Amino acid sequence: MIPVLEVPSSEDLTELTAFLWQQGVAHRVTEEDGRQVLWVADQQDPVRLQELYRYWRSGGNLAAVQWPQARHRRRAEVSWTALPVTLLLIVLSFVFSLMIGFGASFERMSWFSFTPFQVQGQALMHQLLWPTLVSGEVWRLLTPIFLHFSLIHILFNLLWVWIVGSRMEPTQGSRSLIGLVLFSGLSSNLAQYLVSGPMFGGMSGVVFALLGYSWLWDRQGGQPRFGLPPALMGMMLFWLALGYTGVLEGVGLGAIANTAHLVGLLAGLCWVPIARYLNRHSG
């Protein structure tokens, strides 16, 4: 992004930024030394935006402005070059899941599980977390999110990663998305390990975080809006409740990482104020 305007922090830019979002102009407002700085995507014309600002400040009606790039909005939002983290999550999930044969290879799965384990007959033997971390295997804190155990499992999770990631990353930045993935992945993995041990995997905790985050962001009037169905939270809570009742396992969907889902959802809700802070103080 490039800076195009610098104005006093006391100036209310809400009307201007709302207009820019309506026209599909990806931007961010940061606060630096008592000043507000408006940043926009590199492909935008800074002179045109400065003229728009002067027109608006002189009393001009933004509703009457015809923005020439509005027709390109949707294409710009889904440009692959603007989605490095989203695409990386998808690629790594397929790579790791194929490496473990979608759970068929316990030996390879043990390389990336939360702690190393061995299956001896009907018994599961695994190392404790602290000795594992002390030995330097810190990657295990995150890698379980990339392990999936069926084609349906991975496609369902990555569909939501794409839907939310392709809306979040171009407008709020890769930094905020990375932060949410790390925060929700680490917290949901740790919580699930404490409940069930290391035999789990999947992006579901992160997905619940992404959905919870996008739901609360829109509910609080955040811009730009994700635009996902308002009933999404109800669906997530219903799915979460089904998992805890055991119904999903009973119909053949396998073991459900319910704790990871719950903690991931809470992590996503908690990330909203953090993301607002990052958006205000990053360029």
- Render pLDDT for 214-245 as a digit per residue (tens, 0 to 9): 999 988 876 667 888 878 888 888 888 887 87
Tokens of 75: 């294409």
CA dihedral for 157, 273, 178, 142, sign (positive or negative) = negative
Q: What is the pTM of this model?
A: 0.73
What pLDDT is attached to residue 70? Answer: 43
**pLDDT tens per residue, range 163-208:** 999 988 888 888 889 999 999 999 999 999 999 899 899 999 999 9
What pLDDT shows up at residue 211?
95
| Average pLDDT, consecutive stretches of 10 residues, N- to C-terminus, the chain (283 residues) | 82 84 81 80 76 84 70 50 93 97 93 92 86 94 95 92 92 89 97 93 95 91 75 86 73 72 96 81 56
Q: What pLDDT shows up at residue 243?
A: 78
Per annotation, catalytic residue among 97, 261, 281, 282: 261
10 is catalytic: no
So what's the pLDDT on residue 226? 83
- Residue 253 half-sphere exposure toward CB, CA atoms < 13 A: 16
Residue 271 has what pLDDT?
A: 94
CA–chain centroid gap for 58, Å, is 39
- Of residues 187, 204, 281, 282, which has the active-site annotation? 204
Q: What is the pLDDT, as a whole number, of residue 91? A: 97
In whole angstroms, what is the distance from residue 11 CA to residue 37 CA?
11
Name the pairing type of β-strands 123-126 and 117-120.
antiparallel
Domains in the chain, CATH or no CATH each: 2-77 (3.30.70.2080), 80-281 (1.20.1540.10)
Catalytic residue list contains 261: yes
